[in-house]
Amino acid sequence: MVKDESSEDDNYDNVISIIPDKNLESLSFFILGFSYRESAYYIGLPASTVRKRVERARDVIVEFFASFEHFKAYLFKTKKIFFFLDYCSNIIGVKKM
């Protein structure tokens, strides 16, 4: 269970370092609200593969955070959501202004 914000930061660092890039890719779209089908379109994989990769990433997350929802709340609270936004925008090809 998470005790304080510094341990949450450590937990976040652990999650990001443990989850393979291919799973972070799928997780990024999922966190931002894309469906598995939409994510699959941009990533170029079957939706079932995207779903499985998200499931694997979520399994890692709940080892370090009380729940997946707690992890998402942490991302927004700390503005670390931008890591996932950048991940998706690079895949989609959105140019930064």
Query: What pLDDT score was predicted for residue 6?
Result: 62
Amino acid letter, residue 64: F
CA dist 54 and 8 (Å) reads 21
* Domain spans in the chain, listed from the N-terminal domain onward: 5-92
What is the model's pLDDT at position 31? 96
Alpha helices in 1-97 (DSSP H): 5-18, 21-31, 36-43, 47-64, 68-78, 81-92
Collect the ranges in the chain with pLDDT lower than 70: 1-6, 95-97
Instruction: Write down the pLDDT at residue 38.
Output: 96
Rounded to two decimals, the pTM is: 0.86
pLDDT in tens, 67-85: 999 999 999 999 999 999 9
